[in-house]
Amino acid sequence: MSNAVIKRSHIGTGYRWEATLFLEVWEGIEKRYGRDVAREVCGAAMYQAGVRFGKAMAQQKGRNDLAALKEAWEDLYPVDPTSIEWTGDRFVVNGGGCAIKGTLELYSIPPDLFEEIAQVFCEGDRGFVNGFNPDIVFTWGGRILRHDKQCQWIMEEE
């Protein structure tokens, strides 16, 4: 088995665990305090976890410019080079799969909750970029959990 296949397998397993833990926390908070509190607490936790991880990756890289963010992203995720747009001041990743969607389906979470859960779960992406460098503008161009054909992460220098 190639290193790329092994790395993809480990990434997928890691996402499945992360998504399962997220669902357990979400459901526990929702049951005890309601959906609004679950949304607020889980969203803040996902965002802050992303910020912490982004700061650590920038420190590990020794710089926090957009090119370093691109390198960190590619170190963390086995990105197909054909799914990347890179211009030097704009970095876009197009992803055809969604680890949390598969987890939600595995546990029979109603599809009408996917979009709401996506808003909360995916805050970790925004947090990661903001932690790496708060001057890099992060937006989503699409999210599978919001019924788009792919996830798209857009990172740009101001």
**pLDDT tens readout for residues 66-115:** 999 999 998 887 777 788 999 999 999 998 777 778 888 888 888 888 78
CA atoms within 13 A on the CB side of 118: 19
The number of folded domains in the chain is 1
Q: How many CB atoms lie within 10 A of CB 43?
A: 18
CA distances from 41 to 15, 46, 63, 153 (A): 20, 9, 31, 23
Q: Is 95 exposed, middle or buried (0-12, 13-18, 19+ CB in 10 A)?
A: middle
Of 18 and 79, more confident: 18
106 with 114: CB under 8 angstroms? no
C-alpha 153 chain-centroid distance? 9
DSSP 14-25: HHHHHHHHHHHH
- What is the pLDDT at residue 95? 86
pLDDT per residue as tens digits for the range 101-112: 888 888 888 888
Q: Which domain holds residue 106?
A: 3-157
Confidence of residue 34 (pLDDT cuts 50, 70, 90): very high
pLDDT tops 90 at residue 31 = yes
Taking the C-alpha atoms of residue 44 and residue 99, their distance in angstroms, rounded to an integer, is 20
- What is the pLDDT at residue 11? 52
Average pLDDT over residues 24-34: 96
Taking the C-alpha atoms of residue 158 and residue 154, their distance in angstroms, rounded to an integer, is 12
Of 2 and 150, more confident: 150
Average pLDDT over residues 137-151: 90
Which CATH number is 87's domain given?
3.30.1380.20
| Residue 54 structure tokens | 């982004």
pLDDT tops 50 at residue 4 = no
